[in-house]
Amino acid sequence: MPLGIQRLNAKRSQPNDRIVFIKPLKGPGEEIAQDFLERIAAQCLPIMREHHLSVMSLEEYEPNPEFVGRNFNAGEVIQLVLKARSGHWLPFNYVQMVMMHELAHCKQMNHSRAFWAVRNKYAEQMRDLWSRGFTGEGLWGRGALLATGEFEMDTVAPGEPLPEHLCGGTYRSRGRKRKPKRTLTYKEQKERRILKKFGANGIALGEDAEIKQKLEKGKTVKSKPRVAGSARGRELRAAAALARFDQQQKEEVKEEKAVEEGSETESSDDYEDDLASGPDAVDIDGKKLLDTQGRGMVKVCEDENPDDQDAQDELRELQSYGTRKPAPPPPKPTAHASRGEVARKTSSNKLETNAGKRPTKSESISTKAPWAQNSSVCPACTFANEPGSATCAMCANTLESAGVLNSWACQSKTCKGTRYRNAGDCGVCGVCGERKPSSG
C-alpha cells in the first residue's frame, strides 16, 4: 500500500496492495472492465513490490485513435485503454505490456535510454511470470474462476485498427520544476575538487617536532622537505596516501547507505513553482487537463520516437500478441445428405450426429463438461482434485453436495449464477466475503 494510505473494512480481497483505486468507465461493460483491470493489477504485483512502485489510481480510458496508456505525476494516475474503437476488447497480454511501459514512467518520465532500460527489465520479468503461469496471489492466483472472462473471448480481430501510439505521454502538475543549479566560482570549484580528493577535516602529517627531527636524521629543520627522495618525504607521502584511501572507503559506505535509504529521491526543496512557463496540456477532446487538486498540467514527455530501436522492438512484440481468429464458416450440407441429417462441428469436439439416429453412449459422454466426466474436476476453477474429494483443494468449492452437510451457494451479485458452493461450516463466502444467509 502506498505511504500514508491504509484500507479499512475491505469487503473483498484486493488484487494489488500497491494500487489504491481501480476505476473502470461507467457503462454496460463496467463489470468486465473492472475484472480486466483487477487481473492486470494482480499479475504485476511482484514487479511493483520488487521495485517499490505505487499507483494511486488505475483507470480505464475510452477507446481512441491516439494512444493506449499514459502516466500522470509519476504514478499518481495511470490510464489504460481496454477496448478498440470497434468495441472489442484488446488482448490481455497487449494491455499488460502497456502497463509495464507506464510503470517504467514512474521511474523515468521520458523516452530516454534510461527509460528503455527500466521498461525492458520490467517486460522481461513479466514474461517470466507468464512462463510460470502466475496470475496473482491468493484468490487471484486460482485461474479464471467465478469471473465472466468475456474480455478474453471477445478480443479484436485481425485487421482492426489500433491506436497510432502506445504511450500518450507523461504529465506533471504545475509547480514541479527543478531549480536551476547555481554557477560556482573558480575558488569554489577548486575547494570542491580538494574536498572530493582529500576529504574534510584533514590532519597535517609530520608536524610533530620529534617526528620531524627523526625523519631529518637528527637535524632541526623548520622548512618543508624539498627533496622528493628524502626519507621524510617518502614517509609523509605514504601516510597521506593511506589516509586518503581510508577516507574514500568511508565516503563510499555513506553513499551506499544513502542509496538504500532512498535519499537520492527528489525532495520538495529541489523544485520551485512554475505557474507561467509552458503551455497547458489538453486532452484529445480539446479540454484542459487538470490534476486532482484542480491545477493545470504540463506535458513532460512526448510520444515515443518511431525510429528508436527499442520502440520498434516493443511495437513488434505487441503486434505478436494474439487477436481472436475469425470463426470458421458452418459446413454446407452435401447433396447426398438426407433431410434429417445435420452435421455439427465445434472447436472442442468434432461429433457428427444423425437427427434420425440416437447417439451412442460414448458420444453422449464426450459432449458433457469435464466435471461431468470426472467429479474430481472442480467446475469453478477446473482444478483436478484427487478422486472422491468432497471439496476442491484449490478454491474450497463443494464438489459433492451430498457428502458435505449444509453446503450453500452465495447469492451476492458477484457469485450469483456461478457453480461455486461453500461448505456448511463456512460463515462467509470464500469468494466475495458475504456472510452466510440465515436459515430463515
Mind telling me the catalytic residues? 102
d(CA 416, CA 36) in angstroms, rounded, equals: 19
On whether the CB atoms of residues 163 and 66 are closer than 8 A, the answer is: yes
- β partners of residue 23: 59
Bridge-based pairing of strands 55-61 and 19-23 is parallel
C-alpha of 353 from chain center: 49
Tell me the three state secondary structure of residue 198: helix
Q: How far is CA 105 from CA 49, 154, 163, 168, in A?
A: 16, 30, 19, 12
* H/E run at residue 342: strand 341-342
CA distance 363 to 353: 9
Find residue 342's DSSP bridge partners.
353
| 87, three cell numbers | 468495441
Bridging pattern class, strands 297-301 and 55-61? unpaired
In this structure, which amino acid lies at residue 268? S
User: How does DSSP assign 312-326, residue by residue?
Assistant: HHHHHHHHHS--PPP
CA distances from residue 140 to 75, 152, 433 in whole angstroms, order as listed: 23, 16, 14
Grid coordinates of 327: 470463426
Helix-strand-coil split of the chain, %, nearest 5: 30, 15, 55
Distance CA 437, CA 251 (A): 65
Are 387 and 396 a contacting pair, CB within 8 Å? no
Whole-number Å distance between alpha carbons of 329 and 297: 51
What Å distances lie between residue 224 and 32, 121, 177, 215, CA to CA? 83, 57, 52, 12
**b/e map of 155-183 (b: 16 or more CB within 10 Å)?**
bbeeeeebbebbbbbbbbbbebbeeeeee
User: How many angstroms separate the Cα of 421 from the Cα of each of 181, 388, 424?
Assistant: 65, 17, 9
The C-alpha cell that represents 331 in the structure block: 459446413
